[in-house]
Structure 1
Amino acid sequence: MARGGQGLARVAVVVRAGAAPLWWLGVFAAGTGVLVPGVTGRRIGVLAGAALFVVAAAVVARARRGRYTALARDAARAGKYDVLQDRAVTVRAWRRGHRWWLLAAFAVALGSCVAVPAAGGMLLAGAGAGLRLKAAWLGRREHAEDVLLWVRVDWLGVRGGAPAGKRVGGYRSTGIAAGDAAPGGARRRAAALV
């Protein structure tokens, strides 16, 4: 980075990066699990899975909100020489850093179908839904305050760690039009770029 600038990644994009893989791996594992009768039977497995889905989505969506709020409240303005990372680069870095964890979670969800059909997959899908809800919450906050929140890439680490983890000392903020991701971390629509 020239003249002391930092590489910055969107907080909401980092949060949202895991939502799609967790959701789709969970849906696939649950769908496969329904085909296996399992020890408990399909009906109990699906009911248990539905409960796990709701609990996982709620827990993941609510986790560490106080820390996110505190970091957002104390966010410093991004500097002139800071470099804003593209959305696709942030998503790719997070998924590459977590690919083995995602595969392990998928394998466990599939393996659990022998005992409780579909439950493990629905738990995984619930975690993905929770991340999506958390990103939407961050997006509403960004939109209300008319800022976008960014975190230093070096604080995320090589594997694209948690944007509210212990290593994160603070956020940076920019105007709402900065970067290539809308509030909440979704892709900007073409009309919004004009």
Structure 2
Amino acid sequence: MGRGAYGLVRVAVLVRAPAGWLWWPGLLAAGIGALVPGLTGRTIGLSAGAVLGAGAALVAFAARRGRYAALARAASRAGKAVILQDRSVTVRTWRRAHRWWLLLAFLAAVASSCVLPAAGGLLMAGAALGLWGKARWLGRWERRHEALLWVRTEATRRGGAAGKEVRAYLLTGTAAGDAGPGGARASGGVRGGR
């Protein structure tokens, strides 16, 4: 990095990054769990899993939304001496940092099927849906304000995009980076300017 340059990572991409890694393993764990009768039986397990999944989705969607909104309202324009992190780099970095937690969560979800079949997997899948919902909520904010939300990379190492170390968000134009509003892949591979 040049003198005075610093790295930025997209807020919506950070929120969205865990979703896929919870959704597919969660569905797999639920599928495996549905094959196990468990102590409570499949019907009770699936019903409990649906309730747990819905609760996890609501919690993941609602968690820290007030802080996200406050940081977004107070965001300022990013300077020219910034390096924008690619979406794929953000997702890969998150996955590497959390791979063992993801493996443990998957194993715990499968093991829980001995008591409540499929419930643990549906819990993971519900959390993924809540994170997708929050990323879409951020995407609506970005479209409405015609700007993308970014945060300094070093501030996200503990606590993510809305952790205690995050002091402020920064704004760029909608053409910046390689991810569209909400953190999804930009159509046509748009990259570049601020």
**TM-score normalised by length of structure 1:** 0.95
1:74-153 → structure 2 map (5 Å cutoff): 74-153=74-153
Correspondence list, 1:25-64, <5 A: 25-64=25-64
**Offset, 1:162:** 1.1
Opposite residue 173 of structure 2, the aligned amino acid is G
Deviation at 1:104, TM superposition (A): 1.1
* Segments ≥4 residues shifted beyond 2 Å: none
Does the C-alpha gap of structure 1 residues 39 and 130 become closer, same or farther in structure 2, counting only changes over 3 Å?
A: same
Q: 1 CA distance for matches of 2:159 and 2:67?
A: 15
How far off is 1:3 after superposition? Answer: 2.3
Query: CA offsets per residue over residues 103-160 of structure 1, 9 Å max, x none?
Result: 1111111110000000000000000111100000000011101110001111112xx7
- 1:161 is displaced (CA, Å) by 4.5
Report the equivalent of 2:168.
170
> Unmatched 5+ residue regions in structure 1?
none
- Give the 3 Å change call, closer, same or farther, for CA 169–144 of structure 1 in structure 2: same
Give 2:52's aligned amino acid: L
Return the alpha-carbon distance in structure 2 between the equivalents of residues 115 and 88 of structure 1: 38
d(CA) in 2 for partners of 1:179, 1:192: 7
5+ residue gaps in structure 2?
none
Check if 1:188 corresponds to 2:189: no
| Residues 179 and 190 in structure 2, CA contact (< 8 A), matched pair in contact too | no
**Structure 1 residues 141-186: Cα deviation after superposition (integer angstroms, max 9, x where no partner):** 11101110001111112xx741000111111110111110000000
SS of the residue aligned with 2:150?
A: strand
Aligned partner of residue 98 in structure 1, secondary structure: helix
- Equivalent-residue separation in structure 1 for 2:107 and 2:160 (angstroms): 23
Matched-pair contact (CA < 8 Å) for 1:8–1:151 = yes
Amino acid in structure 1 at the alignment position of 2:137:
W
Residues of 1 paired with 2:98 and 2:189: CA distance? 33
Output the CA distance in 1 between the equivalents of 2:104 and 2:163.
Answer: 22
Give the whole-Å Cα distance in 1 for the aligned partners of 2:103 and 2:72.
32
Contact 2:159 2:165 in 1 (8 A): no
Using the TM superposition, give the Cα deviation of residue 191 of structure 1 relative to its aligned residue in structure 2, in angstroms: 7.8
* Contact 1:94–1:161 (8 Å) recurs in 2: no
2: CA distance, partners of 1:191 / 1:181: 8
